[in-house]
């Protein structure tokens, strides 16, 4: 017989675990499936210095382990496994686990599957991830104070990150593959009027250069075919994010960028909630994800009280 649970939480980042803490304390006996990347994106960052409550900062994997323990303390069951299919057509909802090796039925589901930063796909970029290659200036910019860095991308995120980094770093290169920025005019103006940002138009990144200590530069290739090296200590990818919505596509409403549309944590499907980066194209911070996890769990509790 298929196991029946009250509250299924998919994803184990700050949104998933915060939802679990609240759901467990509300006696919903939540079950968290950790997913492909247990602990979420924060496990790929080094130090987190902007999460309230850690005056000395905390390593991403350590914080996620603590969140997990906190959720377990109140009775959350955390399972290693991936939800591979979700049927939201009728309650109880059905989730297939690990490609069909098991399944569960849930009275309510909180989707906290996160978003993944897009990377260029270069082997050298992978080699230096966490050693100079980052996809989050707010998280890692502080480590490059008074150093030279590059931001790759020409959208609002790239411009915002370049402007933020310019306040910390000596020199910021903004590497843009076209001959114009896609960002809003206001963002462009900020970039062009910041003296220590240099925009390098019509260049792609051929390779991230580095040694055992981390990144030392970027090898760029102009659209005209010439190679050109810049010396930098850090490289920030800002070429977009991909919300992890594959499980719910065609079942819940998504916005034009593919993020789940929520209203106070609720999706358009009664009993299905979403929290964290999978429903947030704007802030993408651990603390906002955690806050939205709380909202989703409180709404889930209300829903189950009214409908069961
Ligand atoms: P966007 O998709 O808007 O921009 C991505 C940028 O990365 C584009 O310049 C794109 O180039 C470039 N790019 C994509 N792939 C590659 C590649 N392989 N190599 C080099 N460059 C690449 O993403 P954003 O994250 O900037 O923004 C997402 C959404 O969030 C947008 O709607 C944006 O307006 C919004 N946003 C708003 C903010 C605000 O209002 N404060 C802040 C941040 C985001 P190309 O132009 O050539 O395609």
Mean pLDDT estimate for the chain: 95
Residue among 155, 222, 242, 283 to mutate when testing ligand 1 (max atoms within 8 A of CB)? 155
pLDDT at 14: 97
Q: How confident is the model at residue 45 (pLDDT cuts 50, 70, 90)?
A: low
Query: What is the structure's pLDDT at 118?
Result: 93
Q: What's the CA gap between 175 and 203, in Å, rounded?
A: 6
Of 39 and 23, more confident:
23
Provide the token pair at 283: 């802030």
Provide mean pLDDT across the span 141-156.
Answer: 96
CA distance 25 to 12: 17
Q: Which residues line ligand 1 (CB under 6 A)?
A: 120, 152-158, 160, 177-178, 182, 204, 238-240, 281
Sign of the dihedral through C-alpha 193, 227, 183, 51:
negative
- Amino acid 46: pLDDT: 65
Please give the backbone phi and psi of residue 166, each rounded to the nearest 5 degrees, phi first: -65, -25
| pLDDT, mean of residues 10-22 | 98
**∠ at Cα 96 (93, 100), nearest 5°?**
155
| H helix or E strand, kind and range, residue 87 | strand 83-87
Distances (CA, A) of 164 to 49, 115, 151: 16, 22, 11
The single residue of 7, 98, 107, 139 carrying the catalytic annotation is 139
Residue 29 pLDDT greater than 90, yes or no: yes
Report which ligand 1 atom has the smallest distance to the Cα of 153.
Answer: 7
**Quick one: average pLDDT of 264-276?**
98
Percent above pLDDT 70 for the chain:
99
Both ends of the chain: CA-CA distance in Å? 21
- From 140, 148, 233, 277, the catalytic residue: 140
Whether 97 shows a pLDDT value over 80: the answer reads yes
pLDDT(91) > 90: yes
| pLDDT tier, 50 (very low <50, low <70, confident <90, very high otherwise) | confident
Give Cβ neighbours of residue 56 (< 8 Å, ≥ 6 apart).
Answer: none
Mean pLDDT, range 29-50, rounded to an integer: 84
CA distances from 46 to 32, 62, 216, 217, 257 (A): 24, 10, 19, 20, 29
Residue pLDDT, tens place only, 150-176: 999 999 889 999 999 999 999 999 999
pLDDT grade for 41, boundaries at 50, 70 and 90? confident
The string of pLDDT tens digits covering residues 113-134 is 999 889 999 999 999 998 999 9
Cβ distance 289 to 276 under 8 Å? yes
């Amino acid at each position: 017989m298929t196991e029946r649970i009250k509250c299924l939480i998919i994803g184990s980042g700050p949104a998933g675990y915060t939802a679990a803490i609240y759901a467990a304390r509300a006696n919903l006996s939540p079950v968290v499936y950790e997913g492909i990347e247990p602990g979420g994106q924060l496990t790929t960052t080094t130090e987190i210095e902007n999460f309230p409550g850690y005056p000395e900062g905390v390593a991403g994997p350590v914080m996620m382990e603590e969140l997990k323990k906190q959720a377990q303390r109140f009775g959350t069951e955390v399972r290693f496994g991936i939800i591979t299919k979700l049927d939201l057509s009728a309650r109880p909802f059905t989730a297939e686990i690990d490609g069909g090796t098991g399944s569960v039925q849930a009275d309510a589901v909180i989707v906290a599957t996160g978003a993944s930063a897009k990377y260029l796909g270069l082997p050298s970029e992978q080699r230096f991830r966490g050693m100079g290659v980052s996809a989050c200036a707010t998280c890692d910019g502080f480590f490059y104070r008074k150093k030279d860095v590059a931001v790759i991308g020409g959208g609002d995120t790239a411009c915002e990150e370049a402007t933020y980094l310019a306040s910390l770093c000596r020199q910021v290169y903004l590497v843009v593959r076209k001959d114009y920025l896609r960002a809003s005019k206001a963002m462009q103006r900020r970039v062009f009027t910041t003296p220590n940002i240099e925009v390098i138009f019509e260049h792609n990144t051929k390779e991230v250069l580095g040694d055992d200590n981390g990144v030392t530069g970027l090898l760029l290739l102009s659209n005209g075919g010439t190679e050109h090296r810049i010396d930098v200590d850090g490289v920030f990818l800002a070429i977009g994010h991909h919300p992890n919505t594959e499980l719910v596509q065609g079942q819940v409403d998504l916005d034009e960028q593919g993020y789940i549309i929520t209203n106070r944590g609720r999706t358009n499907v009664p009993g299905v909630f979403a929290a964290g980066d999978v429903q947030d194209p704007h802030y993408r911070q651990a603390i906002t994800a955690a806050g939205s996890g709380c909202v989703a769990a409180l709404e889930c509790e209300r829903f189950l009280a009214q409908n069961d």
